Amino acid sequence: MRGWRRLLWPRLAQGLVSPPLTDAPPVPPEELVQALVARLEAASQARLGRSLAIRQVDAGSCNGCELEINAMQSVIYDLERFGLRFVASPRHADVLLVTGPLTRNMREALLHTAECMPEPKWVVAAGDCAVDGGVFKDSYAVEGGIDAVLPVDLLIPGCPPTPTQLLEGMLALLEAQRVG
């Protein structure tokens, strides 16, 4: 390998002429969009436009869902091109993205996080565990799915859901605002 190939700047310059690494965007299923449209209030469109700030909370997951959510932020999926971004505080968030079966030990923290979010807000339950408790639903330590304590607007099943499935769900939320 030639020396210059090992430097950072030539590699960055290459990026100007090479095609992007990012995948083409997935198209969210129409029925999902329509279902969400019905749930969104007209007021929310004016306030949000085509942008959503997401706060993620792991309420009991095995961390498999977190791996795929992080992958969704990589250059391959490039979440931010859609106006979707993760924020550090629930006070800045429109969407609460929750993973895991809801453990009894995380219940209070999840509820506090949800309370900190301004209205209008949406709750997305991602992963089989978040949908209904998954394989953990019969445990003494688990409350069940996220809807045991919070009204859920969108379910994204999968163990874990792939970044594409997660992205489809988030795009459906965006589409629903535009259409609705």
Partner 1 sequence: MSEALLRLVRHGQEQGCRPYQRYLLDRGQWAALIAAIGEDEAVALLGLWADPAQVHAALMLGETILIASCTVPEGRFAAFSPVQPGAVRFERMIRDLWGHVAEGGIDQRPWLDHGRWPLTGPLAAQPAPNAMPPPQPVFLPVEGQGVHQIPVGPVHAGVIEPGHFRFHVQGEAVVRLEARLGYLHKGHIGLMLGKPALVAARFAARLSGDSTVAHSWAFAQGVEAALGLEPSPRALALRALMAELERLHNHLNDWGFLCNDAAFAWLHARAGALREAVLRAAATAFGHRLMMDRILPGGVTDDLTPQGAAAILAALDAVEAELPQLDAVYDSHASLADRMIGTGVIAPSLVRRFAAGGVVGRASGRAFDARHRPGYAPYATLEPRVSTAGDVDARARLRMTEMGDSIRLARGLMAALPPGELALPLPQRAGEGLGLVEGFRGECLHWVALDDGGLLRAAFPRDPSWLHWPLLEAAMEGNILADFPLINKSVNASYSGVDL
CA–CA distance from 59 to each of 120, 161, 164 (Å)?
22, 16, 22
Residue 97: phi and psi, rounded to 5, are -100, 110
Return the structure tokens found at 14: 């290459």
Q: In 13-147, at which residue ranges do the beta strands (DSSP E only) sit?
A: 52-58, 84-86, 95-99, 102-103, 122-126, 142-144
**Out of 76, 118, 151, 179, the residue judged to bind partner 1 by CB under 8 A:** 76
* Residue 100 contacts residue 65 (beta carbons within 8 Å): yes
Nearer to partner 1, 12 or 42 (CB): 12
Nearer to partner 1, 5 or 38 (CB): 5
Nearer to partner 1, 58 or 153 (CB): 58
CA distance 160 to 68: 7
Q: Based on the shown chain and the rule CB under 8 A, indicate whether residue 26 belongs to the binding site for partner 1.
A: no
CA distance 46 to 177: 9
Q: Based on the shown chain and the rule CB under 8 A, indicate whether residue 147 belongs to the binding site for partner 1.
A: no
Taking residues 39 to 68 in sequence order and writing x for each that binds partner 1 by CB under 8 A, - otherwise, the string is -----------------xxxxxxxxxxxxx
Q: Which residue bears the tokens 């859920």?
A: 152
Q: Based on the shown chain and the rule CB under 8 A, indicate whether residue 88 belongs to the binding site for partner 1.
A: yes
Nearer to partner 1, 33 or 72 (CB): 72
* Residue 142 contacts residue 54 (beta carbons within 8 Å): no
Identify which range of 24-32, 45-53, 102-110, 171-179 contacts partner 1 by CB under 8 A. Answer: 102-110
Q: Based on the shown chain and the rule CB under 8 A, indicate whether residue 21 belongs to the binding site for partner 1.
A: yes
Q: Based on the shown chain and the rule CB under 8 A, indicate whether residue 34 belongs to the binding site for partner 1.
A: no
Positions that interact with partner 1 (CB under 8 A): 1, 5-8, 11-12, 21, 56-71, 73-76, 86, 88-90, 100-101, 103-110, 112-113, 135-136, 138-142, 159-160, 162
